[in-house]
Structure 1
Amino acid sequence: MASTANQLRQRVPAGYKSGNDDLRKDAETELKRFIETNGHFSLVRNFHLADAFTLMNGFCGAQSIFNSCRFLVTSDPKYIWFALWLPFFGAIFDLLDGKIARWRRSSSMLGQELDSLADSISFGVAPTVAAFALGLRYPLDTVWLTAFVCCGVARLARFNITAAYVPHDSHGKMRYFEGLPIPSSLALVIGMAFCVLCGRFEDSNGAWMPKATYPYTGYLSSLTGARGVPLGEFVLDLTAPLYKLLTLGNVLPRYVEPVRLAELSNQLGYLAMHKITLVFAFWSMAMVSKTLRVPKP
């Protein structure tokens, strides 16, 4: 029950004076009401107004993902602009849900969990899908993008467990975050938006070329004079050595057609990664860092 009290502590109004016994009693009352509420839409009936705003955060994240997919299918830049704007609207809802909870002096059993799940979508999955849509599509790129999502989820889980034990000020506000908070990924979204302004991205046909399809897309492309994803790539071509290894002694070619072995060599031997993917890699490590402490505004 102490863990439940810790969860409710996250949405206790600022300046609310209460001891551990009161927190535990509130948690027990909230949990009992949540469990004993039956009937149709019992889950919805336990929602608070702040929870609706939290769900809107998740809604914005999901819509961002869908718009990134639409961009991949159509190559219409307006969809990637929607995909990059929606996480910021999600951040607004993420900010408002806490303020509404403090304003109404109410807490929810689902509030903390909903908040973390919505953040993982809007600030974890959505930015990485946008990065994939904009050109970070090599297998090694997707490995680091996946690591970014996993680190973000791990950081949120750690926050849920340890937030009550981080030093708080006299008003109950946390003094700092351990590791970069996952909404900091909005800085990466801003960077991707700047790349779209400069025309430094790829669509389904490859590197974007100047064309009048949507306002502001490539608006600053004349400043760089380059095409494709910024900073270039790391490439390690092991195709030929791998093919020689697979055909060594003429053993495998007896059972597998050489053309299939050549295809396998091309798939596994060509290792490439965009250099800018390392930004996501370092961001991932910063999110799960225990020693990095970011003052809470």
Structure 2
Amino acid sequence: MQPAARRHFSMLRGFHLADFLTLGNAACGVGSVFLAMLYLASGDTSHFLASAALAPAALAFDVLDGRIARARHEHSPLGRELDSLSDVISFGVAPAALGFAAGLQGGWDAAVLVYFVCCGVSRLARYNVTADALAGAGGKVAYFEGTPIPTSVLLTAVLAWAAWHGRLGDAIYGGAIALGPWVLHPLSLLFALSGTLMVSKTLRIPKL
């Protein structure tokens, strides 16, 4: 066996069942982005709704991988990094892409969506470096600082509701406001709120 092949096989042997479920989370996120892009190309609302539907599917994988890792005592630094990277895709980039596809395409909207994703990345990075310090005697983190990034599924649900009622594009809820050189759709402020809550250090959410 070639050295590169041996390294690849060794990496796969280091994966646990929970890690493969985490990759399922990532796959849902990537699929959601692709379907959002497909909606922009086709205008077919079914593509938009399918993209939104992958958010709860990603959440299911995210919940299952944690429970299985705890049940099988398979926590590892690799699993933690996989979980964070997958969450960035499924609950950060994918909702932002869906928001853009929904019609949040003004200059201010784009800035808000970028802010939202950056907040999600920062939230996960902070959790990874503080998890050990926040863990109790049993090794389990008792609470989250700021809202967990999977709460962005609520944003996806709002967008799915809008799509179901034909309120995408020019008909999006809240309309549009011209502010200086750019346009703002007030609905994008939900993304700003979500991102801000994620990076809050004063908001503590008990971890179940």
TM-score of the aligned structures, taking structure 2 as reference length: 0.92
Distance in 2 of aligned mates of 1:135 and 1:76: 14
Point out which structure has higher relative CO (alpha carbons under 8 A, 6+ apart).
2
Aligned in 2, Cα 1:73/1:165: closer, same or farther, shift over 3 Å? same
Q: Over aligned residues, Cα RMSD in angstroms?
A: 1.7
Counterpart residue type for residue 184 of structure 1:
T
Match of 1:161 in 2: 129
- Name the SS of the counterpart of 2:178 in structure 1: strand
Distance in 1 of aligned mates of 2:182 and 2:82: 39
- Pairwise CA distance, 1:103: 2.1
Distance in 1 of aligned mates of 2:79 and 2:204: 25
Counterpart residue type for residue 127 of structure 1:
P
Aligned with residue 179 of structure 1, among 120, 133, 146: 146
Question: Which aligned pairs between 1:3-22 and structure 2 lie closer than 5 A?
Answer: none
Aligned with residue 146 of structure 1, among 110, 114, 121: 114
Aligned in 2, Cα 1:80/1:292: closer, same or farther, shift over 3 Å? same
- Pairwise CA distance, 1:100: 1.3
Aligned with residue 189 of structure 1, among 141, 152, 156: 156
Distance in 1 of aligned mates of 2:95 and 2:179: 27
Aligned in 2, Cα 1:39/1:125: closer, same or farther, shift over 3 Å? closer
Mean Cα displacement is larger for which, 182-191 or 98-107?
Answer: 98-107
TM-score of the aligned structures, taking structure 1 as reference length: 0.65
Q: Which of 1 and 2 has greater Rg? A: 1
Question: Which aligned pairs between 1:53-64 and structure 2 lie closer than 5 A?
Answer: 53-64=21-32
- Pairwise CA distance, 1:280: 0.9
- Name the SS of the counterpart of 1:41 in structure 2: helix
Aligned residues: 204
Match of 1:287 in 2: 198
- Pairwise CA distance, 1:108: 3.1
Q: Are 1:198 and 2:162 matched, yes or no?
A: no
Aligned with residue 231 of structure 1, among 161, 167, 174: 174
Match of 1:76 in 2: 44
Counterpart residue type for residue 123 of structure 1:
F
Q: Percent identity?
A: 45
Q: Are 1:98 and 2:66 matched, yes or no?
A: yes
Runs (5+) with no aligned partner, structure 1: 1-36, 208-227, 238-269
- Pairwise CA distance, 1:40: 4.1
Aligned in 2, Cα 1:290/1:40: closer, same or farther, shift over 3 Å? closer
**Which structure has more helix as a fraction of its residues?**
2
Q: Is the 8 A contact 1:47 1:108 kept in 2?
A: no
Aligned in 2, Cα 1:109/1:194: closer, same or farther, shift over 3 Å? same
Counterpart residue type for residue 279 of structure 1:
L
Distance in 2 of aligned mates of 1:236 and 1:81: 30
- Pairwise CA distance, 1:167: 5.3
Q: Is the 8 A contact 1:48 1:108 kept in 2?
A: no
Distance in 2 of aligned mates of 1:295 and 1:109: 22
Q: Deviations over 1:127-153 (max 9, x none)?
A: 010010010011221111011001000
